[in-house]
């Protein structure tokens, strides 16, 4: 009797876990390998993320003019979720690079240009109920990244003006 009760309890607890949607990885294996190859080089990593987000942005842009259908809306929802996840991941990387005082000023110009492109793309998407939340999340993520990039740009300009001998570094190293 205890065994049956244990099995029933385990089944009830496991059912919600199986029903949960697995969050897809926003990067392909090839993209993950390229990020890994860039290692701790902050400029190379930021440039790669910009490129990968540009690719997602182009996919979104290509889906917008298609005839409205359930499949298109679901695909847009997936692309918008992956887009937002990549933007958030880039933001996390920027936080790390900023904290370690890595000189990422060269990549911030490209990032600011990318943010403007991505905002244009997202503003060109007409919201539909299926992907309304994903579109809002993507817009919020890009807006947050824009604010973050501006803040980091100002912080880096001030820091490297005060510490000119540390220009081009990958991380802060106490002297």
Rounded to an integer, what distance in angstroms lies between the CA atom of residue 83 and that of residue 57? 7
Q: Which residue has the higher pLDDT, 104 or 8?
A: 104
Task: For residue 54, name the pLDDT band (cuts at 50, 70, 90).
Answer: very high
pLDDT digits (tens, 9 = 90+) for 122-151: 999 999 999 999 999 999 999 999 999 999
Q: Examine residue 150 and state whether it is found in any structural domain, yes or no.
A: yes
Is 124 within the bounds of a domain?
yes
Give the residue from 42, 49, 56, 62 showing the smallest Cα distance to 105.
42
Distances in Å between the Cα of 157 and the Cα atoms of 52, 116, 147 are 26, 21, 16
Which pLDDT value is given to residue 155? 93
**Is residue 117 one of the residues assigned to a domain?**
yes
Q: What is the CA radius of gyration of the chain?
A: 21
Domain, as residue range, for 102: 28-163
Q: For residue range 72-110, what is the model confidence (pLDDT) as tens digits?
A: 999 999 999 999 999 999 999 999 999 988 899 989 999
Distances (CA, A) of 39 to 8, 30, 35, 60, 156: 47, 14, 7, 29, 21
pTM comes to 0.81
Taking 70 as the threshold, does the pLDDT of residue 16 lie above it? no
Look at the chain and report how many structural domains it folds into. 1
- Over residues 50-55, the mean pLDDT reads 97
Output the pLDDT for position 18.
43
**Domain annotation covers residue 138:** yes
Residue 50 included in any domain: yes
Average pLDDT (149-158) is 94
Predicted confidence (pLDDT) at residue 175 exceeds the cutoff of 50:
no
Integer Cα distance of 25 and 82 in angstroms = 8
Contact yes or no for 170/40 (Cβ under 8 A): yes
Residue 3 domain-assigned (yes or no) = no
Q: What is the pLDDT of residue 166?
A: 73
The Cα 153–Cα 151 span in angstroms is: 5
For the chain, the straight-line distance linking the first and the last C-alpha, in angstroms and rounded, comes to: 69
| Residue 139, C-beta contacts closer than 8 angstroms, at least 6 positions apart | 119, 122, 123
The more confident residue out of 31 and 173 is: 31
Asked whether residue 14 is assigned to any structural domain, the reply reads: no
Residue 23 in any domain: the answer is: no
């Amino acid at each position: 009797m205890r065994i049956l009760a244990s099995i029933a309890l385990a089944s009830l607890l496991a059912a919600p876990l199986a029903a949960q949607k697995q969050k897809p990885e926003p990067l392909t294996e090839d993209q993950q390998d390229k990020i890994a190859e860039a290692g701790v080089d902050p400029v190379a990593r930021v440039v790669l993320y910009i490129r990968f987000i540009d690719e997602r942005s182009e996919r979104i842009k290509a889906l917008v003019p298609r005839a409205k259908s359930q499949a298109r809306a679901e695909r847009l929802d997936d692309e918008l979720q992956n887009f937002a996840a990549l933007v958030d991941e880039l933001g996390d990387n920027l936080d790390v690079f900023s904290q370690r005082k890595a000189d990422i000023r060269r990549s911030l110009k490209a990032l600011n240009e990318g943010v403007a492109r991505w905002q244009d793309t997202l503003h060109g998407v007409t919201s539909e109920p299926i992907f309304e939340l994903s579109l809002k999340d993507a817009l919020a993520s890009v807006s947050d990244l824009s604010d973050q990039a501006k803040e980091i740009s100002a912080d880096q300009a001030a820091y490297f003006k005060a510490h000119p001998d540390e220009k081009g570094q990958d991380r802060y190293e106490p002297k």
